[in-house]
Amino acid sequence: MNAEALGLRQHALAIFRAALRAVDPEAAVARHLSLCGDTLRVGAEDLALHEVERIWVVAFGKASVAMARSVEKCLGEWISGGLVVAPHGSAERLERLEVTEASHPLPGPEGEAAARRVVQLLRDAGERDLVLCLISGGGSALLPLPAEDLTLQDKVSTTDLLLRSGATIVEVNAVRKHLSGLKGGRLARVAYQARVIALVMSDVVGDRLDSIASGPLSPDPTTYADALAVLERYGLLERVPARVREHLRRGAVGQLPETPKPGDPVFERVTLHVVASVAHAVEAAREEAERLGYRVAVLTVSLEGEAREVGRVVAAVAREEVQRDRPLPKPACVLLG
């Protein structure tokens, strides 16, 4: 590797590392959470902790331990308790919060047991309690709770069929939310008495809060009828477990309660903050590239698709830059996220 290529490689690594630092889970939470005396600041919101009876912390997702560690450092003895659910092999001990492991990416019985513990904790939370929910990618699999007339295997089988069919993540979520006891805003329904603040690491294009971890604290714009339509669209209605088919049909005719919709009172005391996302990472990469002297073009922060196909697009953009100085004259850095 010649000196010029080595320099470019070092710059590329520096830009990449800047992007990673911007979405480091522990640092991202710390930027949005601070304590001054008995005043807790979350984003731009101040909460007087002397008016709070208990603080509960519930964390689920691949970044749950790091996010919870940051909350522990900030709040310390103010924390009354909680539960952190992490993937197998990634958990470590925390000072104040219990950590339990569950399977990912496929949901398993440990995750279901953890979900039932979370439900019990949140049902016991009162109107003067504060619940901090720390949500990151993988949270949907790590905290699975089937609807009462379904089994976890019913949900897993249906999700697997959907993923193999080529359904979009929005379509998959429309079905999953209507097979769950927590997704699609139902966690907010469980915790309706308490003040709930969620810090969210987004792994979803456009940071759609109703899609991240299948939106446990967000209004769900979809219906049982939408879920049935997705299964019909991909020829799956007769292939999913019979219990799933019957459950969705009962919901579509009003025999089961719908997921909570926009304007539902269960969301009146719920606030969500996106603390890290692709947009944050790309912005940090842009700043580092400019610091290193590059002209920068951010083509998109909404890139999605099958990895091999997206890779071909990125390669074509790079070839255009090398051969024709487009979209920018050199030295150039082209970013996609």
Q: Extract the tokens encoding 27.
A: 């640092």
Has residue 14 been placed in a domain?
no
For residue 104, the enclosing domain spans: 26-145+180-218+259-276
**Residue whose structure tokens are 């990416």:** 105
Residue 251 C-beta-side C-alpha neighbours within 13 Å: 25
Same structural domain, 210 and 309: no
Q: Count structural domains, the chain.
A: 3
Same structural domain, 88 and 207: yes
pLDDT at 216: 97
pLDDT at 1: 66
Has residue 301 been placed in a domain?
yes
Same structural domain, 240 and 127: no
336 - beta bridge partners? 300
SS3 assignment, position 217: coil
Q: How far is it, in rounded angstroms, from Cα 272 to Cα 215?
A: 11
Has residue 18 been placed in a domain?
no
Same structural domain, 244 and 295: no
- Residues ≥6 apart with Cβ < 8 Å to 49: 38, 39, 40, 55, 78, 130
Has residue 17 been placed in a domain?
no
Residue 33 CB neighbour total at 10 angstroms: 22
Same structural domain, 122 and 33: yes
- Residues ≥6 apart with Cβ < 8 Å to 111: 85, 102, 103, 104, 141, 142, 143, 144
Q: How far is it, in rounded angstroms, from Cα 194 to Cα 66?
A: 24
Has residue 128 been placed in a domain?
yes
Strand ranges (E), 31-148 = 33-36, 39-42, 45-48, 55-60, 79-87, 98-102, 130-135
With beta carbons less than 8 A apart as the criterion, state whether 92 and 63 touch: no
Looking up residue 83, the CATH number of its domain turns out to be: 3.40.50.10180
Same structural domain, 229 and 192: no
Same structural domain, 272 and 133: yes
Same structural domain, 234 and 292: no
Q: How far is it, in rounded angstroms, from Cα 243 to Cα 137?
A: 28
With beta carbons less than 8 A apart as the criterion, state whether 180 and 213 touch: no
Task: Tell me the pairing of strands 39-42 and 45-48.
Answer: antiparallel
Same structural domain, 59 and 198: yes
Q: How far is it, in rounded angstroms, from Cα 27 to Cα 276?
A: 10
Same structural domain, 191 and 79: yes
Same structural domain, 136 and 232: no
Planar angle of CA 252, 254, 257, nearest 5 degrees: 100
Has residue 19 been placed in a domain?
no
pLDDT at 148: 95
Residue 120 CB neighbour total at 10 angstroms: 11
Has residue 21 been placed in a domain?
no
Q: Extract the tokens encoding 273.
A: 């903050």
Output the tens digit of pLDDT for each of the chain's 337 residues: 677 778 899 999 999 999 999 999 999 999 999 999 999 999 999 999 999 999 999 999 999 999 999 999 999 999 999 999 999 998 789 999 999 999 998 899 999 999 999 999 999 999 999 999 999 999 999 999 999 999 999 999 999 999 899 898 889 999 999 999 999 999 999 999 999 999 999 988 888 899 888 999 999 999 999 999 999 999 999 999 999 999 999 999 999 999 999 999 999 999 999 999 999 999 999 999 999 999 999 999 999 888 899 999 999 999 999 999 989 999 999 999 9
Q: How far is it, in rounded angstroms, from Cα 239 to Cα 165?
A: 12
Same structural domain, 89 and 114: yes
Has residue 15 been placed in a domain?
no
With beta carbons less than 8 A apart as the criterion, state whether 52 and 128 touch: yes
